[in-house]
Amino acid sequence: MSRILAILQKEFLQMKRDRLTLGMVFMLPLVQLLLFGYAIQTEVKHISTVVFDQSMSIESRDLLDSFSSSGYFDITGTAKGYAEITKMIDSGKAKAGIIFPPDFAEKLRKGETAPVQVLVDASDSMVSNSAIAVANSIGLLKSQKIIMQKTGVQSLPYDIRVRPWYNPDGITAYYMVPAILGIIVTMTMVMMTSMGIVREREKGTLEQLMVTPVKSYELMIGKVIPYIALGYLQITVALLVGGVVFGVPIRGSILQLYLLTLFFITASLGIGIFISNIARNQMQAFQMSFFVFLPSIMLSGFMFPREAMPSIIQYIGNIFPLTFYLTIIRGIVLKGIGFPYLIPQVMSLLVFSVIMMTLSIIKFKKKIA
Amino acid sequence: MDKMNINNIIETESLTKVFGGLAAVNEVTLKIDRGDIFGLVGPDGAGKTTLLRMLCGLITPSRGRISRNSDSFGYMPQKFSLYGDLTIAENINFFGALYKIDSKTIRRRADEILEITGLAGFKSRFADDLSGGMKQKLALTCALLAKPALLVLDEPTYGVDPESRKEFWKILYQLNKEGVTIVVSTPYMDEAELCKTVALISRGIIMSTGDPGSLKKSFPYGILELKADARDLDFINDLPEVVDGDFYGDKYHVAVYEVEQAKAAIINLLAEKKVAIHHLRHIPPSMEDVFVAVTKEEVV
C-alpha cells in the first residue's frame, strides 16, 4: 500500500509539472463541447438557391414564397437559363436550383399537374437530404391545399401526431454533449494511459523500477489511478459546461452516471494497458490509440446512426466499449433511465474489461520470460 | 543453488542469451567473490549489458543457471533512468519508499551518500538539469538507498568527463571498503586496471578472467614501445618476429615473440626504410595489450 502511495505521489508530481498536458486535459473537453455543441448541426438550413422562373406568374411567386419561408431555402439569385443554373451549382455558388417551365401557371389554372424542377447538389449528402425532404413536403402541402379547396373536404383522413421524446426541440447539443463525455474518457484512458506507461519503458525508468521490490500490480494500480481521477475530473467539467452553456439537463441519477462510467473506464483502461504492452515507444502507442479511437467514433453511433449501418458493421461496432457507453450515457442523461435498463451494456463492458486484462497479463508474462 | 559457495555472491553456469539466433551472451560460467570489485571489460556490443541484466534478473537466460547469494542489490543501468522532471530529493524519496524505508531513514542515508558524492547542495535541482557526472552520482545514490550488499553498474562512467570518472571510482573504492561487492562493466582499459578481478568479454564469450596483475603476467608476448618519425608503421607487423602492432597515441606498441631478436629486426628494418627512431624499449604489457592479444587469438 505504501508503495502504491509513493507511485501515486510521484505521478501527481509529474502531472502537475507537465503544464502543457494538464492544460490539454482541461481544454480538450471545453473545446470539443463548444465545437460539437455550437458548430455542428446535423440539420441543414439556409441552403443557397438560384431560381430560373420562365413563368413569371403569381403562382410561381407563391410557390417560391413557400420555399423561402420554410427557412431551408434562401433565394440568392435568379438565372436566365439552364446553362447559368448549371454553372452556379457546378461552381458551388448555389446548392439548389428551382426551375419553373413557361406554362406553369397556365397548367395550374387549367387544373392540370404543373411540374417544377428542383435541382439539388447531392455531393454533400447532409445538404441534399434536407433539401429533398423539404422540397417534397412543400409540394405535398401545396397540392393538399388545392385539392381541399376543390373537393370541399374540411379535414384529412389521416392525422399522424409525432412526439419527439427526450429531445423535443431536436437540440444537437443534448445529443452531442453526453456522447462527448465518452470521447474524452476514451482519449484519456487509452491514449494518455498507454503513452504514460510506455514513457517509463522508453526512458528506462521501468528497468530501474523492476530491480526494486515493487510488484507489477502495485505499479499498475499506482500508474492508473491518477488517470482515472483525471477522467472523472474531465467528465465533471464537461457535464458542468454542458449544463451551464448548453442547458443539457441530466434527467437520470448523477450517482449512477458516475458509477456506470467506471465500467467504461475499466474497459478503456484495458485497451490502454494492452497497447502499452505492445508499443515500443510513445509514438507507436499514440498511433495504436488512434487505431482504436477512429473506428470508435465512426462505428459507435457518435457521428453516424448505427441503425443506418449494414449489420456486419454493426457487429464490428460492438467491439468498441464506446458503443455501449453511448447507450448508457444518453440513456441516463437524456432518457433518465437507470441501471435496470442498462444491464446488457454494463455486462458487455465488464466482459470486455476481463478479456483485455487477461490478454495484457498473458502478454506481460511472455515479455518477462 | 545447493552447492553454492557462501563466499561467492554470484555464480553462473553456462549462462546463454540468444537474440534472434545470435548469442549475445554465450556459455558464461562465472564466480564472483564477496567483497570483489569485478570488472566486465569489453568493447561495445560484447554482451556486457545483456550479461548484467541477466545477473539482475531483468531478463531470463535462454540457457544456463544463475545463483545470487544476496537479497538486496542495487542496479545502475547504462542510460540514466531516473525521473528527469523530479528533483534529486524527490527521486531519492520515491525510490526509498519503493524499498519501504521510512522517510527518516531515507533522509539520513541520502544525506550520507549525497555528502560522499558531493550532491548535498543540489537537492532541489531537477535531475534533467544535472551534468552527466552528477546524474551518475544521483543514480548511484538511489541504487545505494537500500544498503545493498551487491552493486551492479553498467558502464557507469560512459560519457562522463575524466575528472568525474576519477571521483566516481574513488566512491566505488570507499563503498567496497565498507563491504559492498561491486560488479561493473566498462569499455575503458584504464578502468579495468582499477578492478580487483577482470573478466575480458568479446562477442558474448568470457575470454579470460583474473586479477589485472596476473592477466598481464600471463601475457605470452613481449611488448616493445616504439616512437619513430613515421605516420605508418604497420609494415613492421610483417616481420616474422612480430605478432601484432598498433598505435597507442603517438607511440606504436609491438607484441613480439622474443624481445631482443625483434628489437634488432625492427632497428634493421627502420634503418633500411630511413625512418628515424626516437626510442624503442621493452615495456610491461597494459590491460589493453592483453585485451587486444586475447581477442585476436579468438579470431585466428
List, edge to edge, every strand of the sheet that includes B181-186: B73-76, B150-154, B181-186, B37-41, B197-202, B205-210
Distances (CA, A) of A104 to A99, A108, B107, B291: 10, 6, 95, 104
- pLDDT surpassing 60 at residue B2: no
Helical pair B132-144 and B103-117, crossing angle rounded to 10 deg: 140
CB B82 to CB A205 under 8 A? yes
Split at pLDDT 50, 70, 90, the class of B1 is very low
Chain A residues with CB inside 8 Å of B73's CB? 211
Residues of A in contact with B100 (CB under 8 A): 2-3, 213
Q: What tens digit of pLDDT does each residue of A273-326 get?
A: 999 989 989 999 999 999 999 999 999 988 888 888 999 999 999 999 999 999
| Alpha carbon distance A72, A46 (integer Å) | 5
What ranges do the domains of chain A cover?
2-40+170-368, 47-151
- Of B81, B86, B95, Cβ closest to residue A207: B81
Inter-chain touch A205–B83, beta carbons under 8 Å: yes
Task: Sort residue B157 into left (φ over 0), alpha (ψ -120 to 50) or beta.
Answer: alpha
pLDDT at position B67 over 70: yes
Which residues of chain B neighbour A3 with C-beta distances below 8 Å? 97-98, 100
d(CA A129, CA B132): 65
With cell 543457471, the residue in question is: B65
**pLDDT (0 to 100) of residue B268:** 87
Instruction: Tell me which chain B residues have a C-beta less than 8 angstroms from the C-beta of A219.
Output: none
Identity (one letter) of the amino acid at A348?
S
**pLDDT at position A28, please?**
82
Give backbone dihedrals phi and psi of B16, rounded to 5 degrees, phi first: -140, 135
Order of all β-strands in the sheet with B8-19: B22-33, B8-19, B63-68
Centroid of chain to Cα B8: 19
pLDDT at res. A329: 94
Residue B128 to chain A, least CA–CA distance (Å): 12
Query: Is the separation of the CB atoms in B261 and B282 below 8 Å?
Result: no
Neighbours of A163 (CB within 10 A): 5
Most confident region among A246-250, A320-324, B259-263 by mean pLDDT: A320-324
Lowest pLDDT segment from A180-194, A225-239, A320-334, B248-262: B248-262
Q: Does B58 touch chain A (CB under 8 A)?
A: yes
Most B CBs within 10 Å, among A14, A22, A211, to test the B interface: A211
How much is the mean pLDDT over chain B? 87
pLDDT tens digits, B178-213: 999 999 999 888 888 899 999 999 889 998 888 888
Q: What is the pLDDT of residues A117-159, one digit of tens each?
A: 999 999 988 778 888 999 999 999 988 888 888 888 888 888 8
> Of the spans A149-153, B108-112, B173-177, B249-253, which averages the highest pLDDT?
B173-177
Q: What is the DSSP string of B128-169?
A: GGS-HHHHHHHHHHHHHTT--SEEEEESTTTT--HHHHHHHH
How many Cβ atoms from other residues are within 10 Å of residue B247's Cβ? 13
Is the pLDDT at B299 greater than 50? The verdict is: no
pLDDT of residue A288: 95
In angstroms, what separates the C-alpha of B277 from chain A's closest C-alpha?
52
Q: Does residue A266 carry a pLDDT above 70?
A: yes
Are A206 and A54 in contact by the 8 Å Cβ rule? The answer is no
- DSSP 8-class letter at B32: E
B103 interfacial to chain A (CB closer than 8 Å): no
B94·A17 Cβ contact <8 A: no
- Amino acid present at B293: A
| Predicted local distance difference test score (pLDDT) of residue B53 | 92
Q: Report the complex ipTM.
A: 0.77
What is the pLDDT, as a whole number, of residue A312?
92
Pairing of strands B277-283, B222-228: antiparallel
Q: Considering only alpha carbons, which residue of chain B is nearest residue A207? A: B58
Whether residue A6 and residue B90 make contact (CB cut-off 8 A), yes or no, is no
Q: Where are the beta strands (DSSP E) in chain A?
A: 47-53, 73-78, 96-100, 117-120
Q: Smallest Cβ distance to A369: which of B60, B75, B99?
A: B60
Q: Nearest Cα to A197, choosing from A295, A97, A302, A275? A: A275
How far B75 CA sits from the closest chain A CA (Å)? 7
Residues A35-50 have a mean pLDDT of 79
Please list every residue in chain A whose beta carbon sits closer than 8 Å to the beta carbon of residue B125: none
Instruction: Give residue B297's pLDDT.
Output: 59
Contact B94 A9 (CB under 8 A): yes
More confident: A256 or B101:
A256
Supply angle C-alpha A101, A63, A133, rounded to 5. 95
Q: Which of A53-67, B65-79, B281-295 has the lowest mean pLDDT?
A: B281-295
Q: Is B83's CB within 8 Å of A211's CB?
A: no
Nearest CA in chain A to B79: A204
- B124: chain A residues, CB-CB within 8 Å: none
Q: CATH topology for A47-151? A: abc type-2 transporter like fold (3.40.1710)
> Cβ of B75 and A203 within 8 Å?
no
Domains in chain B (CATH in brackets) are 8-211 (3.40.50.300), 220-284 (3.30.70)
Tell which wins on pLDDT, A11 or B163.
Answer: A11
